[in-house]
Amino acid sequence: MISDSRPIDPARVAAATAAHGLDPRQSAEVRVLIPTGYGLNCEAETAAAFALLGARVEQRHVGDLLAAPEQLHDFDVLAFIGGFSFGDHVASGRVYANRLRFRLGDDLARFVADRGLVIGMCHGFQVLVKLGLLPGPIAQRGDAGDRLAPQRASVIVNERIGYRDSWVRLVHEPETACVWLSGIDRLECPARHGEGRLVFADAELEAQLAAAGQICLRYVDAQGRPTQRWPENPNGSPGGAAALCDESGRVFGLMPHPEAFLYAENHPRWIARREAGESPAFGEGLRLFANGLRAALSR
C-alpha cells in the first residue's frame, strides 16, 4: 500500500479551493482511492489534482485492493488512472477489467449503488467501459446484491492506426447529468492513446445514450463543431464521442487527460493566453476534479 500522497503547499491548496468555491475543511473529509500497479501510470498527476483541492488521497496497489475488497467502501471517490495495464497485450484494459469484474465486481457495483463517485481517464476509461460500469447501469439490485452490467460498448484501436499525442478541444453536452462536468461548457486537455475509438453494441444503444446525455463530451473542431475528422478527433470516434457517464452522472470516463492540465502553465500556449488575459491561475482540468469533490460532499 502507498499511503497519503505527497503533501502540497497549504498556500496552494488555499488558493485552489478558493478559486473553485470549495471549503478546504470540507474537502479534507473526502477520501479518494487511486488503484496503482500492473503497468498503470498517471497516479502522481491524479493524486495532485485531488490533493490540490484539499482531499485526502491514497494510492493502493490493485493486488492489495483485490485481497481485501471491503476497503473500497472506506472511500468516497474511486479514480482509475491512465497507463498500459498488463502491457495491453490482449486489448487495452481487458485483462485488468476482467480481474476487477471477477474479484471486485460486486463491491464495485455496491460502491456505485451507495452513491460513490468514479472517474476514469484514458486507460481508466477503457477499463470502465469493459467493466460495464460505463455506460452502466448496475444490472441487478435487490436481495441478491448489486451486480455489474454486461459490457455494451468498447474502446478500440484508432481509426487512423497509431499513437496520437496532442491537445484536443472538447464540448460539453448541455443535457448531460454528469456531475463532473457541472458548469463546464468547453475543455482543452491532452489526449494520448492508440486505442481510443468509442464504439457501441448497436446504433440503437448509441442513439439512446446520446438522447440521455450520457455521451457527455465530444471532440470539436476550431469552430466548435463535433467532428470525426483527424487530427481534431484523434481516434475517429463516431460523432466525436470522447466520454461517457452513467445514468446517475456520478460515474464518468473520458479518453483525454484533464489531470495533465492543473496549472495554466501546462497549456502549450500559456504565454500567449496570459498576454491575452485568458489565463487563470489554474488549468481547466482542475475544475472537473473540483466538481467531483462537490458531488462527493453532497452524498
Active site members: 122, 257, 259
Provide DSSP, 12-55: HHHHHHHHTT--HHHHTT-EEEEEE-TTB--HHHHHHHHHHTT-
CA 285-288-293 angle, to 5 degrees, is 135
3-state helix, strand, coil in the chain (%, to 5): 35, 25, 40
Question: What stretch of H or E contains 290?
Answer: helix 285-297
Distances (CA, A) of 229 to 191, 217, 240: 15, 16, 8
**Contacts within 8 Å (CB) and 24+ apart, 87-91:** 87/39, 88/195, 91/130, 91/156, 91/195
C-alpha cell at 145: 446484491
Q: Are 172 and 69 in contact (CB under 8 A)?
A: no
CA 192, CA 256: separation in Å to the nearest integer? 7
Task: Count CA atoms closer than 13 A to 214's CA, side-chain side.
Answer: 22
Closest by CA to 118, choosing from 77, 81, 57, 148, is 77
